[in-house]
Every structure is written in C-alpha cells, then in structure tokens.
Structure 1
C-alpha cells in the first residue's frame, strides 16, 4: 500500500474542505458579512406587468380630522393610498388643499373589503384606493321586518368640492400614466365592487366629468338614444338579459332570471355610476339602454348580431 499517496489525498481533501467553507461563518453556516452584495440593473426584462389593475373611489362620510384618524390609526384596521380633503372643512388645518398619500402605492391598503370585479376578488391586492373627504352617508335597518331590501335604508348625498375633484383628476391621470394595466372599466366606486355593502362615492360623484378628462368609462349619447328607441319600440330586455349584461360589464351578479335582492343592489350601483339622476334599483328601459351602450363600446364581443347579450356560461 502506498501510504504516501494516501497521505497526499487526505491533505488535499482537508485543504479543499477548508477552502470551500472559508466564505461561511462558523456559526449556523451563515454567509460571511465580509462579502459585499452588488446588484446590477444593466439588463432589463420586458416580461412583467404592474401590480395595480384597479382604482377604487370612496367617500369617507367624515370630516378631515376624523377621516385621517380612521385611516391611519391601527385600531380601525382600514386605510387608503390617498386621502383628499375638501374646502370649507373647519377641521382641515392647511390653507390650501393637498393630496395626502397615506400608503405607498407598492403596498396593500385596506380599503376594498369583501369585493369583486369580473372574476377577480382580493381587490385590495390589485388596486389603489382613494378616499375623498365627503360627509355623505347611508343608514340601514336590515332587521326591520316592516321594510324590504328596497326601502330599508335612507341616504344623504352631498355635492363634491370642485377643487377636490380637480386634484383627484390630476392624481388619477398620474396613476393611469404609471400603470398600464388600468382600463377605463377598471376605474370604479366602492359600490360597484360591493353593491350590497357600500354606496360610495354615491350619485353626486361626477363620473362623466372624469370621462371628459380622459378617465374611466362612459357611454355615447347617440348610442344610448338608439338603444332607448329600440327597446321602446320592441320588447324590452328581460331581467335575465340585464343580469347577463351587468355580469359581462364586470359586476358580481348571479344569473337567476328573477328581480331579486342582489339584482336590486347591483342595478342601483350601476345607476349611481351611470344614471345618477335616477338610482332606484329598478331595471327600466333607460337603464337597459345605458348598459347596452356601454357593452357595445367596451365589450362588443358580448353582443350578437341582433344586439342580444351573449350570456356568460359561468
């Protein structure tokens, strides 16, 4: 046996072991602090998308001071990315209205709650939430047996401050420019994604003004008139067709073919957004014409050659 060769092999293994572990600390096999981490941005991939897909508009139902308290203190467990005050609020301390960022856009604010748009839930994970100081509010009596779901609430809606809306429009344009996943139909109110729980931003919110500034969705008046005449001169759409249309547009609604509680709330939310002068939850011809006009503009594939809605299969 060649002990000399064996000795050389043993020495080689020992040296190799020492060398391979030289860059590790002796405790817990952690990487040595002597090694500097360097990251390089020289190469960039085009294969990515932004986290943000939706923008949700809210009202606070409170003045500035209490809005800020609720949205920032841990005991309330609610937040938004932005808070915009309104003029003539005695609790607001500054001379000029400012836009306040409460949560970084890269982080998840807690503003949407249990909600859905299209087939997407967990809206907080995919959205930017904007709260507007406005004292509009709704009160419900869910357990009053003398009232049904169409009459168990009362709401007080107040006009929005023009300066506040001006700031909102500037903010929205900036957000949209930085997030290419945001489509016109992906800018909506809290009531659109949670119609049985929420009524904000309410029928006083100027959705049409936003559209005129290149933000969000709206219908074309000639198209609305065409469908209104069509439905007046022929058979009006059934509640099943209206449910199918609302689902096609993005609302979370089951196709039941009956005018039920969920349909009332979704229709009311749709009306508050697109027909705010008559948001009673009743599926009239004007509401149907508005819905068809929006589908033709943004989801033309949802209509057949006779302009009937192709109902979703799920």
Structure 2
C-alpha cells in the first residue's frame, strides 16, 4: 500500500515507489552505565534541562527512594526516545568512532557506587532482578537494531577509560554474554595463549595493538597512567577479579582470545 503525503492538493513526497538499499541505522552501540545515586537523585539529575540524559533507566527495586516514589518490582523508565540523541557518553571512542552520543543507546542502572576515604571507588553489587531487567531490555534493543553487533555492547569505562569506571567490576558481563548480549572469550583459547606467553613473555606493544584492534582508543596510552587506565578498563570488563591496571599474562591471554574470536 502506497504512502503519500499531500499539501494543497499536490503530492510532495512519495516514499514507496523507490527505496534505497544503501543505508544503516543511526544506532550502532549499546552503552551500560551506573548512576552513582539512588533512584530519586538519579531521575532528578537525568531529567534536568541542559544536563546529562539517557534513553533508559533501570532501578533497584529495593531502593527506598524508588519504593517511596510509589513503585514496586522493576519498572524500566524510557527518558529519551531511541531515535533521539541523549547525552550519556560524553567524550568517547570505540572502534574508531567518536562522540558516541550520536550513534548509541544508553542504559543507566541505578547503583550507589561511591568514592571511599582514600579516593578509591567503593563498588556496590547490583540487584539480581535489576540485572534480569537489563538483560531483557538489552535483548529487545538488540533484536531491533542488528547494527549493534556483540563487540559494540560496551561499558562507559570501555569508551572513556581515562574518565569513567562504570558499570564497574561487579557488573555481570559474563551473565549478559550467556544471554546473548555482548562478548566473552573462550576458555580453551585463553589457556592456549597463557601457555604461549608463559614461554615467550608479553610484548606490551603487541598488547596495545590488540587493544586498539578490539576497539579501545589507545591514543591516550602515551604514559604509565594512561596505559594503566586503559588496562584497568579492560580488566573491569573481562577480568573483574583483579583490575589493578597492571599488565600480566592472564590479561594478555584474555585479550588475545577476544581478538581471535571477534576481530
């Protein structure tokens, strides 16, 4: 059935007779965040004019401020339409693309991670119901946007490692992977590279090259601090048991296994 628009008796747009096959969706990335605030403060910050914004917010159903707002269970809130650009990624880069606000959908997960007494981040576990809601939401998004390939499901710290730590090492990336969301390495491939590096050692230049090939922006790794931040971001995603930013054989083996699988 043809769809035509008329103005003043004259047809001005025919969008059915000819359709181009050369295009792609604006949306290529799915970015996970945490809010560092309770539900009430998170929503207030995300709905202020001229402030940060995001497409979706997933609350913690046990958050007292969420319960006080009259909600129960996990209700997912859509704050910005998917076709619109939200301001959640900031200065960012992944696989050669920058300014990822232009090409991404963001999910903010209510979580009260906060700074400790000595400047360290105190990471807070996620609620299992909350994570299940994130999984269902992400699966729905990925079904509608096949341009978001697995390697383009990332954390804020992946796309801005010098500035960000969210969604943090307690975010269950492997659980998401088992549900068909994002990337993970094969254990046997990791074991093979562990054996190889145990014999040959690790070349830091090769590790940086592989990080860049996988998707990370390695341009900031010009000094020890930049390199440490980059490795820490990778470890929080794929080796959360130890995320000190120090290059070791396990980190190198996991990276090599990921590059072999996805690149």
Structure 1 or 2: more strand by fraction: 2
Match of 1:260 in 2: 224
TM-score, structure 1 normalization: 0.77
Whether the 8 Å CA contact 1:117–1:250 is kept in 2: the answer is yes
Whether the 8 Å CA contact 1:80–1:129 is kept in 2: the answer is yes
Match of 1:24 in 2: none
**Residue-by-residue CA offset, 1:34-63 (whole Å, 9 max, x unaligned):** 446564443333222110000110000000
Q: What is the Cα-based RMSD across aligned positions, in Å?
A: 1.8
Residue in structure 2 matching 1:99, options 60, 76, 79 = 76
Residue in structure 2 matching 1:241, options 189, 194, 206 = 206
- Mark the structure with the bigger radius of gyration: 1
Q: Distance in 2 between matches of 1:47 and 1:120?
A: 20
Whether the 8 Å CA contact 2:220–2:226 is kept in 1: the answer is no
**1:197-276 correspondence runs (5 A):** 197-232=163-198, 234-254=199-219, 260-276=224-240
Match of 2:4 in 1: none
TM-score, structure 2 normalization: 0.91
Mark the CA change 1:96 to 1:211 in structure 2 (over 3 Å): closer, same or farther.
same
Q: Distance in 2 between matches of 1:89 and 1:54?
A: 29
**More contact order relative to length (CA 8 Å, sep ≥ 6):** 2
Aligned length: 253
Match of 2:252 in 1: 288
Residue in structure 2 matching 1:90, options 53, 61, 64 = 64
**Residue-by-residue CA offset, 1:293-313 (whole Å, 9 max, x unaligned):** 0011011xxxxxxxxxxxxxx
Q: Distance in 2 between matches of 1:153 and 1:283?
A: 22
**Structure 1 position 108 matched with structure 2 position 74:** no
Give the unaligned 5+ runs of structure 2: 1-6
Mark the CA change 1:106 to 1:199 in structure 2 (over 3 Å): closer, same or farther.
same
Shift of 1:139: 6.2
Residue in structure 2 matching 1:278, options 238, 242, 246 = 242
**1:17-36 correspondence runs (5 A):** 34-35=8-9
Shift of 1:229: 1.4
**1:68-83 correspondence runs (5 A):** 68-75=43-50, 77-83=51-57
